[in-house]
Amino acid sequence: MRTRPTLTWEPTGGLPPASTDIGAVVDAVRAGGAVVLSGAGLSTESGIPDYRGEHGSLRKHTPMTYQEFVGGEWARQRYWARSQLGWRAMTRARPNAGHRAVATLAEAGLVTGVITQNVDGLQQAAGARGVIELHGSLGRVRCLSCGRLTDRAELDRRLRAANPRFEAAAERYRAARVNPDGDVDLPDEAVREFRVVDCAACGTGVLKPDVVFFGENVPPERVARCRQHVDEAAALLVLGSSLTVMSGLRFVRQAADAETPVLIVNQGPTRGDRWATHRVDLPLGQALADLVTRVCP
């Protein structure tokens, strides 16, 4: 039986009220030196659902955990079959106004660092450079035995060749909504004949997307790079993250401990609100486009 990861957070009383005025965000970004921490809410306007919003995937979908993935062949078979269809939807997604706004602010020198919890690559596709992918990227695949990194497109070609009839058999599910972790929901009978391939370099290694699964730790050197960005930030700007998991929340706490302003733009309360200097509750595309207009006339 699959167990649901502990991924929820329920707001309690006493949290500061949200605003629909981005004036404080404008002032902080205009002053320069802001570091962005973005979450799944930044990509919802590109057609990729978040985990915990009103229509979040966790309401219907339990994501794969690291322990489950490494613990059994059936789990890996199910993951890669679902991902084979989900990958199509991820590659069709395009950066939205929010992604483009962050890239514009970075190019203007007002944002000096971008940390994203997203694995879709859309922030980089919008033109932002030096993005730290906190949770990795679906565009890469890693061998758990030899460590070789390869492009997801290469694995896509190998899986197509190994499963010539799968896509036709799964055609009825092609319209299924993609999840933030890059797969779609498929019934067991649709994946039983799916063939998983091993690492082409070492011949036997298990292949895993180069992302941090639930239950897996972010690599320490990546955390250290993020902490350095936050240490040097004049303000931390959180965009579209509920901050439910500690991987992102720790940077909010770090900034607050250093008395660095924390500004959150998110639809709905977040676990980091108690440390926020200011929180704005607005759709991100609208809010960030307005922000760019006001700081980059």
61 is in an annotated binding site: no
Domain contains 27: yes
pLDDT digits (tens, 9 = 90+) for 233-249: 999 999 999 999 999 99
Same domain (yes/no): 103, 156 = no
Q: What is the mean pLDDT of residues 76-104?
A: 91
Same domain (yes/no): 186, 83 = yes
56 is in an annotated binding site: yes
pLDDT digits (tens, 9 = 90+) for 276-290: 999 999 999 999 999
Pick the range with the lowest mean pLDDT from 36-40, 109-113, 133-137, 175-179. Answer: 175-179
Q: Report DSSP state, residue 244.
A: -
Domain contains 107: yes
**Residue 182 region by backbone torsions, left for phi larger than 0, else alpha for psi between -120 and 50, else beta:** left
Same domain (yes/no): 104, 77 = no
- Inform me whether the pLDDT recorded for 150 exceeds 90: yes
pLDDT band at 86 (very low <50, low <70, confident <90, very high): confident
Domain contains 4: no
284 is in an annotated binding site: yes
Q: Which of 61, 99, 135, 278 is catalytic?
A: 135
240 is in an annotated binding site: yes
Same domain (yes/no): 270, 125 = yes
- In terms of residue numbers, what domain contains 75? 55-92+139-211
Question: Domain containing 243 — which CATH number?
Answer: 3.40.50.1220
pLDDT digits (tens, 9 = 90+) for 196-205: 999 999 999 9
Same domain (yes/no): 250, 290 = yes
Query: What total of structural domains would you count in the chain?
Result: 2
Q: What is the mean pLDDT of residues 125-153?
A: 96
Same domain (yes/no): 125, 235 = yes
Percent of the chain with pLDDT over 70: 86
Same domain (yes/no): 81, 143 = yes
163 is in an annotated binding site: no
**Pairing between strand 207-211 and 262-265?**
unpaired
pLDDT digits (tens, 9 = 90+) for 8-58: 656 666 677 889 999 999 999 999 999 999 999 999 999 888 654 454 444
Domain contains 5: no
Closest Cα to residue 279, out of 11, 15, 14?
15
Same domain (yes/no): 66, 168 = yes
User: Is 278 an active-site residue?
Assistant: no
Same domain (yes/no): 202, 157 = yes
Same domain (yes/no): 232, 102 = yes
**Whole-prediction pTM value?**
0.88
15 is in an annotated binding site: no
Closest Cα to residue 89, out of 143, 39, 138, 126?
138
Three-class secondary structure of residue 199 per DSSP: coil
